[in-house]
Amino acid sequence: MCYNYPMTQMSHKKLVVGNWKMNPATLAEAKKLSRKFKRATPVLANTEVVICPPLPFITACSSRKKISHFHMGAQTASTQEEGGPHTGEVGAHMLRDIGVEYVIVGHSEQRKSEWHKAQSEGDANETVAARLKAVLGQGLTPILCIGESVRDESGAYLGFLKDQIKASCGDILKKSAKSIIVAYEPIWAIGAAEAMKPEDVYETSLFIKKVFADLYGADMGLKVTVLYGGSVTYRNAPDIITIGKVDGLLVGRESVNIPGFIELMKEVDRVSI
């Protein structure tokens, strides 16, 4: 399958995002992880690193002074754009105030929970769209997750991805959409023995860029940042970047493995895109 969409080789930094999920178990362990990663990022030349700890650990993992190539992220934010009677919710404005710069929006694990609550994929996408709007409204950078549960040979999954993007971004104006990062994370590849083939990653990244071009114009299709996530390790990271031609990686389980994640940073920094 091929898309007649022009690709321009652009020179820009790569992005590695570590999604810690509900790990580690203690504050002491979280501090140790962040301390090790903070020491590793200043030597990077062409890579920015974002860590997304669980909410209770974000402040402890932050740094009082700016560290080269190191950024704080959050795993989600409320759909509510303002404070109020929203028990259990954490607003994007609160995250910004504690030093968060990036927010994961619509991760498949959260989409699954929201789908059960909403009882429809369409309603779940509306929730993701509200989160995206709230994050953008606070000047934070959203990492919009998309991904299919089954990669069928007929190519129906492409329509699914297109619908996810359009439903999430449909009300977002172009000037705001420029800040959106798309993380393609096929659900079937999460926690799998192997990552998706880099050639297939490339094909899908082209498709994502085409969808953004259709929504916002050809220039946006070229500029949108696309990450890949799903069973990423330091071993397969270089091929995913170079052959898959993505702008970076969304890393799950390896992001709480100190030696593995540090080596992954270095491997990504060595390759050019």
pLDDT digits (tens, 9 = 90+) for 13-30: 999 999 999 999 999 999
Query: Residue 159's CB: how many other CB atoms inside 10 A?
Result: 11
User: Is the pLDDT reported for residue 9 higher than 80?
Assistant: no
pLDDT for the residue numbered 5: 41
Do residues 162 and 125 touch, judged by C-beta distance below 8 A?
no
User: Which pair of tokens denotes residue 47?
Assistant: 């890579």
Global pTM reads 0.92
Q: CA–CA separation, 185 vs 131, rounded Å? A: 18
What is the rounded CA–CA span in Å between residue 47 and residue 59?
A: 23
**pLDDT value at 171 more than 60:** yes
Query: Rounded distance, CA 266 to CA 247, Å?
Result: 15
Q: What is the pLDDT of residues 203-256, one digit of tens each?
A: 999 999 999 999 999 999 999 999 999 999 999 999 999 999 999 999 999 999
* Residues acting as catalytic residues: 107, 185
Superfamily (CATH) of domain 14-270: Aldolase class I (3.20.20.70)
Average pLDDT over residues 101-111: 94
**Sequence spans of domains, the chain:** 14-270
Alpha carbon distance 75, 107 (integer Å): 8
